[in-house]
Amino acid sequence: MKKLPILALILYFLGATSALALKVRDLNVAPYRDYLLLYAYLEDFPQEDFREATRHGLGLSFTFHIQIYRIRRFLRDEKIFDQEITRVVYYDPVKNIYYVQTVGAPEAPRRAPSFRQALWLAANLEGIPLMPLVRLQPKTRYRLKLKAEVRKIARVGWPKKIIRFLLFKGESLESSWTSLVFSL
């Protein structure tokens, strides 16, 4: 009889986070002018959990791991491109506005009036320039691999660590590797 509450606690802390997973949808590449452009978006993430996290002062970090390999017939595939794109979503409670910033980009953070729009800006990879087309050979097959990870960012300090532990199970969600074979 005493084992039942312990089992329930274990399932609560471990089981709930493992069922959640991100999905990368509509992965595609297209040549435009002199660059190879990437198109994809994320779905199946817990929006209410993320909304609570941002309202309590935690930021969200969307990290996209992108790799391109040249497919070779008898040898191991050659990695020709490896990049991470990170976007951070945070909330300004005074102005009641969400901000989405691409880490390392020279532009100012984009403003979003609603949480749904902020998630759309962070989770959407639309027309991202990857690499110059001169680095790709025509009639050669390439494999693009994409993996996404969403993390809750907490600033140091005991009150926020306690809130993060009590309210939000799991630190991060990630997708499996999604691949696309293409040629020019």
Q: Residues of 142-166 as b/e, b for ≥16 C-beta within 10 angstroms?
A: bebbbbbbbbbbbeeeeeeeebbee
Which residues fall within 8 angstroms of residue 158, CB to CB, at 6 or more apart?
none
Output the pLDDT for position 163: 57
Output the pLDDT for position 18: 44
Divide the 184 residues of the chain into consecutive groups of 10 and give the mean pLDDT of each group: 57 49 91 95 84 83 96 94 94 91 90 93 94 94 96 65 54 88 93
Ramachandran class of 139: left when φ > 0, alpha when ψ lies in -120 to 50, beta otherwise: left
Of residues 55, 16, 39, the one with CA closest to residue 130 = 39
| Number of domains forming the structure of the chain | 1
Output the pLDDT for position 16: 44
Question: Which domain range does residue 105 map to?
Answer: 3-183
Give the domain CATH number at 90: 2.60.40
